[in-house]
């Protein structure tokens, strides 16, 4: 057997210090894969290793506490101009050889034209550097099962004392990814933590929610979360029906993020589908066809939202915590004071379809929305509202039209009527039909940007998707029907 990583790899995953494979171990696995390659060509591995400590509770008692770990070894073999990809989660020599052979057999079928791997799908023209941002937190990695249990109990106790029912989840994750792009090795370790809870009254007439995600557990204020969920549960009880229609809304930061999700997915990482890019006339940022040149003009340089708003990402932003990837732009601004200044594509698509070449890519799905000018707190927004609705969060926001980004979804976990500068009563949930672009154009006031709940749900997908957004007060937001679920 060739340089065996069998004992190294296996023993390590099961050990305390081996919860996440080290750079050396990932390197050994990558070497192992390369060593088993036959028939020339390239061997392009990606190794993802993760550990998670989890705790879940329902009806005020812990229902499951768990410790899980796994590794994904994905290898692309590029032989005679074709690609083959196979994946396994076993680290011994025979399994590594097996997965390399599987990839070679698929390559030998000759169906996949070769593409250089890596995050780009096409070879970058310059040597890449992985931005050196630290997204590792010992507080996350070292949050023990006992500590998790104690935190959970502290979160549940106030709800139980008030005769309410709490359900929630704490998760701490540590992971590492090794990528090899153009022969260069990039190893990034990271942590990810989330805490969220739902508090309901036993009759099911009120519900409150709170949640936070960050790479650093120490930054998550669990006491504040439980207070918020409890307060919302109590204050949202016995809601009254309100007529659907256009309302001034105060969207709490979580609601803003829920609404913006479809917009940022279009803007930061448009799918690699022909005809969807602005330059092909697709999506919300295509402007008009220039028939003389037979090309589409985009809205780059045009005002697309209220001129006080800026949408950007900065790897150095301590409130974000973005997982650095090789070739990632350190700073990117998509919308600068209302004006569209950046669009992002997979590099392979940009080169092949659009004739654009940029070596660097924007941080995937991580962003900050901020206002330029004086910030208004939520109580001030309420005090200055004659008649409006306060929204806690949205649920199942679905896009209905690609060009306008018209979408529909529901409110949940707390909705209140504001009359003459005061919250007067909880109201039943609404379904809305509205576009995030419309909302961002009907801006009245904005608050201080805050971190929102935006977890990467599957540990198999390495990454972090932090977002920082302000609360927004928006005119004429369209609620189209009542949905009386609590």
Partner 1 sequence: MSTTQFTRRDLLKAGSTAVALALLPRPLLADFGGPTPVPVPPIEDPDVKKLALRAIEAARSAGASYADVRLTHTYDRQVNGNSLLLTETQYQNLLPLVDEETMHVGVRALVNGYWGFAASPIWSPDEMARLAQEAVNQAQVNGLGLVRAVELPPIPKVVDGHWSTPVKRDPFQVSPLEMLDYMHSIGRYGELRLDRHIEPYNFVARAWFEYRCVMQDKAFASTEGSYLTQRFYRSHGSLQVEGSKGYKNLSHDDLHVHPAEFITTVGEGWESVGYDQATMREKIRQFYEEVLIPELLLPKQSVEVGRYDAVIEANGVAKLVSQTLGRATELDRALGYEANAGGTSYINDPLAMVGNYQMGAETLTVTADRSSPGGCATVQWDDEGVKPEDYTLIQNGVLTDFHTTRESASWLKDHYTKHQRPVRSHGCAAAATGREAPLTHVPNLSMAPGKESLDFKAMVGMLKSGIAIKDINPTMDFQCLNGWVPNPQVYRVRDGKCVARIEGAALLFRAPELWKGIRALGGPDSVRRFGFSSAKGEPAQETYHTVAAPPALFQQLTLIDVRRK
Give the nearer residue to partner 1 in terms of CB position, either 68 or 422: 68
CB of 207 to partner 1, least distance (A): 8
Give the nearer residue to partner 1 in terms of CB position, either 216 or 399: 399
Question: Beta-strand (E) ranges in 201-266?
Answer: 207-214, 245-251
CB of 392 to partner 1, least distance (A): 13
Q: Characterize the bridge pairing of strands 367-371 and 467-469.
A: parallel
Tokens standing for residue 60: 């005020």
Give the nearer residue to partner 1 in terms of CB position, either 171 or 314: 171
CB within 8 A of 47, min separation 6: which ones?
A: 21, 26, 29, 30, 71, 72, 73, 74, 176, 177, 178
Question: Other CB atoms closer than 10 Å to residue 62's CB: what's the count?
Answer: 16
Task: Report the C-alpha gap between 289 and 274 in whole angstroms.
Answer: 16
CB of 143 to partner 1, least distance (A): 12
Give the nearer residue to partner 1 in terms of CB position, either 64 or 383: 64
Mapped onto helix, strand or coil, the DSSP state of residue 144 is: coil
Give the nearer residue to partner 1 in terms of CB position, either 25 or 434: 434
Give the nearer residue to partner 1 in terms of CB position, either 351 or 382: 351
CB of 61 to partner 1, least distance (A): 5
Q: Which residue has the tokens 């705790």?
A: 55
CB of 422 to partner 1, least distance (A): 28
DSSP H or E segment with residue 105: helix 93-108
Q: How many residues does the chain have?
A: 486
Give the nearer residue to partner 1 in terms of CB position, either 307 or 353: 353
CB of 91 to partner 1, least distance (A): 8
Give the nearer residue to partner 1 in terms of CB position, either 368 or 454: 454
Task: Report the C-alpha gap between 471 and 447 in whole angstroms.
Answer: 5
CB of 403 to partner 1, least distance (A): 6
CB of 52 to partner 1, least distance (A): 7
Tokens standing for residue 443: 């801006």
Q: Contact, 175 vs 462, CB < 8 A?
A: yes
Task: Report the C-alpha gap between 457 and 143 in whole angstroms.
Answer: 19
Mapped onto helix, strand or coil, the DSSP state of residue 267 is: helix
CB of 316 to partner 1, least distance (A): 30
CB within 8 A of 93, min separation 6: which ones?
A: 1, 2, 4, 5, 6, 32, 36
DSSP H or E segment with residue 181: strand 165-181
CB of 273 to partner 1, least distance (A): 8
Give the nearer residue to partner 1 in terms of CB position, either 325 or 434: 434
CB of 238 to partner 1, least distance (A): 14
Q: Contact, 338 vs 307, CB < 8 A?
A: yes
Task: Report the C-alpha gap between 28 and 3 in whole angstroms.
Answer: 9
DSSP H or E segment with residue 481: strand 472-482
Task: Report the C-alpha gap between 392 and 429 in whole angstroms.
Answer: 11
43 φ/ψ sector (left φ>0, alpha ψ -120 to 50, else beta): beta
Give the nearer residue to partner 1 in terms of CB position, either 156 or 313: 156
CA angle 436, 461, 54 (to 5 degrees): 100
């Amino acid at each position: 057997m060739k340089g065996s990583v069998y004992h190294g790899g296996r023993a390590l995953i099961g050990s305390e210090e081996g919860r996440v494979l080290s750079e050396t171990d990932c390197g050994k696995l990558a070497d192992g894969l390369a060593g088993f390659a036959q028939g020339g060509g390239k061997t392009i591995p990606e190794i993802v290793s993760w550990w998670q400590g989890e705790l879940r509770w329902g009806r005020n008692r812990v229902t499951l506490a768990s410790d899980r770990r796994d590794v994904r070894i994905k290898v692309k073999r590029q032989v005679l101009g074709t690609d083959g990809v196979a994946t396994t989660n076993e680290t011994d020599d025979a399994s590594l050889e097996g997965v390399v052979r599987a990839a070679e057999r698929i390559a030998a079928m000759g169906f996949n034209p070769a593409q250089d791997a890596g995050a780009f799908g096409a070879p970058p023209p310059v040597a890449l550097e992985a931005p050196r941002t630290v997204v590792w937190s010992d507080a996350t990695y070292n949050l023990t099962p006992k500590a998790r249990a104690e935190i959970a109990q502290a979160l549940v106790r106030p709800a139980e004392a008030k005769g309410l029912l709490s359900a929630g989840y704490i998760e701490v994750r540590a992971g590492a990814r090794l990528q090899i792009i153009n022969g260069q090795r990039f190893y990034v370790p990271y942590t990810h933590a989330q805490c969220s809870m739902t508090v309901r009254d036993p009759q099911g007439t009120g519900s409150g929610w709170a949640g936070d995600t960050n790479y650093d557990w120490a930054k998550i204020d669990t006491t504040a979360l439980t207070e918020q969920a409890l307060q919302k549960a109590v204050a949202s009880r016995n809601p009254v029906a309100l007529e659907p229609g256009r309302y001034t809304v105060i969207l709490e930061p979580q609601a803003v993020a829920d609404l913006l999700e479809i917009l940022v997915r279009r803007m930061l990482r448009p799918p690699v589908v022909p005809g969807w890019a602005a330059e092909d006339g697709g999506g919300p940022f295509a402007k008009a066809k220039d028939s003389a040149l037979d090309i589409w003009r985009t809205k780059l340089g045009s005002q697309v939202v209220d001129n006080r708003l800026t949408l950007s990402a900065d790897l150095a932003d301590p409130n974000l915590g973005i997982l650095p990837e090789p070739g990632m732009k350190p700073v990117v601004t998509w919308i600068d004071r209302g004006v569209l200044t950046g669009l992002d594509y997979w590099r392979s698509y940009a080169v092949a379809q659009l004739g654009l070449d940029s070596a660097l890519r924007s941080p995937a799905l991580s962003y900050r929305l901020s206002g330029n000018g004086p910030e208004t707190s939520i109580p001030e927004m309420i005090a200055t509202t004659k008649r409006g609705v306060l929204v806690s969060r949205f649920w199942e926001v679905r896009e209905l039209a690609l060009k306008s980004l018209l979408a529909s979804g529901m409110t949940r976990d707390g909705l209140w009527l504001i009359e003459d500068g005061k919250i007067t009563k909880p109201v039943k949930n609404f379904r809305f039909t509205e576009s995030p672009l419309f909302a961002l154009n009907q801006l009245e006031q904005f608050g201080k940007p805050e971190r929102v709940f935006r977890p990467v749900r599957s540990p198999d997908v390495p990454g972090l998707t932090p977002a920082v957004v302000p609360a927004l007060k928006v005119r004429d937001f369209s609620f189209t029907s009542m949905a009386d679920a609590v």
